[in-house]
Chains A and B, each alone.
Chain A
Amino acid sequence: DVKVTQSSRYLVKRTGEKVFLECVQDMDHENMFWYRQDPGLGLRLIYFSYDVKMKEKGDIPEGYSVSREKKERFSLILESASTNQTSMYLCAAQGEPYEQYFGPGTRLTVT
């Protein structure tokens, strides 16, 4: 089984802080994704990456950036956290043919 881990389960940050969320997969999958999940809205794609140093915007990239320096690691960065970024953040790695394996999620609260 693919294992996807995320650096924190719960995180509390202040408005304006820079926030790093890290995601690591233990398989050699090229495609990795960052989503946020909010009640009634479902999972929404923030950014994704097909390979090292490659990144593509998803549906809601504003206020976020990403970094993929190594194949197994995909980081989500909130440059200046705001209260409307309080959410559950889920990272996924995509296997073949299309199954996405999710990490346990990081519940971020911005106060």
Chain B
Amino acid sequence: RKEVEQDPGPFNVPEGATVAFNCTYSNSASQSFFWYRQDCRKEPKLLMSVYSSGNEDGRFTAQLNRASQYISLLIRDSKLSDSATYLCVVTRNYGQNFVFGPGTRLSVLP
């Protein structure tokens, strides 16, 4: 089993839709969690950290469920510019190493 798993998609949604991605991780010792965004042929960039209490940044909401070992990302009111691959990331070794999921591809259609 991979350490971090994601549905690869693609998720094709119309503008304005709400879309949710889930990610599961296998290492219960993971301490920190993130969502990164990667545009086509570009490098990954941090979208947001994920906290146990859940956190929101504008149209984006991230949730962490430690008991079930999954992380979610909700995007409301999707924009064309949200089209990208979303990478789920967990840390191990006391935060020294990042483990990246394979990514979920989102296409927002006009």
Contacts and interface: CB of A to CB of B under 8 A. Distances in A.
Nearest to A95: B46
Contacts of B91: 98
B104 to A, nearest CB: 11
What bracket does the count of chain B residues touching chain A fall in? Answer: 20 to 34
Contacts of A90: 43-44
A58 interface: yes
B43 A42 contact: no
Contact of B46 (A33, A45, A48, A99): A99
Contact of B97 (A40, A41, A58): A58
Given A98-B32, A98-B91, A43 B44 contact: yes
5 contacts: A42-B4, A42-B101, A90-B44, A98-B91, A102-B45
